[in-house]
Amino acid sequence: MAGESLIPPTEKRESTMSVLTPTLTLEQETNPWEAQAARFDFAARKLNLDQGIWKVLRQPTRELIVHIPVGMDNGSIEVFTGYRVQHSVARGPAKGGIRYSPDVSLDEVRALASWMTWKCAVVNIPFGGAKGGVICDPKKMSQGELERMTRRYTAELIEFLGPEKDVPAPDMGTDEQTMAWIMDTYSMHMRQTVTAVVTGKPVNIGGSRGRREATGRGISVVCDEALKQLGMSIEGCRVIIQGFGNVGSNAAKLLAEKGYTIIGIAEYDGGLYNQNGINIPALIEHRKLAGTITGFKEAEAADKEELLTCACDILIPAATENVITSRNADRLRCKILCEGANGPTTTIADDILADKKVFIIPDILANAGGVTTSYFEWVQDRMGYFWTEAEVNQRLDSIMTESFNDVILYAKTHSVNNRIAAYMLAIDRVAYTTKQRGIYA
């Protein structure tokens, strides 16, 4: 692929993010907002973007911070900090997930919000970008505590949410149940049921068929397309996946069904390896019963970090940000890096992987299947008519295929790498709409 460095040589000294210097700490390298901004600036420069529009699109439109009091099961009161960042509403309502994790920070939510803007534009759906998060450890909270926290977080943000304003969805640490609580809380305040206020809901209360598997399905489609580009075949194609949550487990299941060989899975508490292919449905069953992938008899235990650098055809990070950095990028041995997670690769790692000619399917394209089916859910909720799973999947497949080919064409036409091509395509679309709408004063 066009393995262009993120920062051209003449500009390397201007960037704080992509200079391979020993003085750059891992903390600086892995700040997600800085990583997003570095790529945005580079793509905007390539596009020769109007300076004023550049300033508008570089910053989020709105950042909200709420402190949420919650009555805990033991009778005490805890206060949790939550965020909602709306990066852009130029192309439609703000759209983006809510993350519950101890590592949530405003910079992370900002970066995730802007990635949502670019992602929705890459797949050309009529949404802007947003993201939310609460600093908490959902694994240590009861269902009752999570429900009370979710309802109060929703109530604090009530005037900023809505089907035409801002539509949340699940992300790490949240799920269909969380979305059901948000929908119910919002509906109680509106005095009517408003299903389209969130996506990723259970199917019986306005969710879409196919939404649960959508991000994994989208990943499987772009992997198919990448193989076609590179003249590789599914038969014998070895895949390693980091993260066996919603995205990772569904990607594994669908890829295995298509004939890919899943040779490794890494989770936070350990990894598995089987060069003949891991039986994914059996592993999903094991994880349901044991609560962990470890101890699965049909694969060898493997070191979770070493799995990232094992030889394979496709590596799919599907857990969290900053797992491919200056510390391990030169040891990666995959031909294709398909980013299931948001922001798994730092800008310095990007440069290293470009030198190694790794074909990258960037996050804002690779994991866009989730938000695309969220868009289908929002459409179905608003018309009150629901599609079959086959209809949802067929529409998703065609949008992912078309978007992949749009990005590849953009990369070839502008002689940039796939990531910068995806950013350029997205920024171009959002800038066009922003100019067309004009600046309200």
Binding flag, residue 242, ligand NAD (CB under 6 A): yes
Q: How many CB atoms lie within 10 A of CB 391?
A: 13
Taking the least distance from each CB to ligand NAD, the nearer of 46 and 131 is 131
Binding flag, residue 273, ligand NAD (CB under 6 A): no
Binding flag, residue 340, ligand NAD (CB under 6 A): yes
Binding flag, residue 215, ligand NAD (CB under 6 A): yes
Bridge partners (DSSP) of residue 185 are none
Binding flag, residue 172, ligand NAD (CB under 6 A): yes
Q: Cβ 125 to ligand NAD, closest distance in Å? A: 14
Binding flag, residue 245, ligand NAD (CB under 6 A): yes
- The active-site residue out of 131, 201, 253, 304 is 131
Spatial contact of 234 and 227, defined as CB atoms under 8 Å apart: yes
309, 320, 326, 403: which one binds ligand NAD (CB under 6 A):
320
Residue with tokens 């992602």: 119
Give the pair of three-digit tokens for residue 75.
Answer: 């009778």
Binding flag, residue 210, ligand NAD (CB under 6 A): no
**Region from 180-188, 242-250, 378-386, 405-413 binding ligand NAD, contact rule CB under 6 A:** 242-250
Binding flag, residue 88, ligand NAD (CB under 6 A): no
227 contacts: CB under 8 Å, gap ≥ 6: 233, 234, 237, 336
Taking the least distance from each CB to ligand NAD, the nearer of 90 and 116 is 116
Spatial contact of 338 and 273, defined as CB atoms under 8 Å apart: no
54, 268, 386, 432: which one binds ligand NAD (CB under 6 A):
268
Give the pair of three-digit tokens for residue 243.
Answer: 């993260």
- Backbone dihedral angles phi then psi of residue 158, each to the nearest 5 degrees: -55, -40
Q: Cβ 16 to ligand NAD, closest distance in Å? A: 24
Q: Cβ 86 to ligand NAD, closest distance in Å? A: 17
Question: Within 138-157, which residues bind ligand NAD (CB under 6 A)?
Answer: none
Q: How many CB atoms lie within 10 A of CB 81?
A: 15
Q: Cβ 169 to ligand NAD, closest distance in Å? A: 7
**Region from 80-88, 182-190, 261-269, 384-392 binding ligand NAD, contact rule CB under 6 A:** 261-269
Q: Cβ 124 to ligand NAD, closest distance in Å? A: 17
**How many residues line the site for ligand NAD (CB under 6 A)?**
24
For 325: left if phi > 0, alpha if psi spans -120 to 50, otherwise beta; the answer is beta
412 is catalytic: no
Chain residues that interact with ligand NAD, rule: CB under 6 A: 170-173, 215, 242-248, 266-268, 304, 318-320, 340-342, 367, 370
| Residues annotated as catalytic (active site), given as ranges | 131
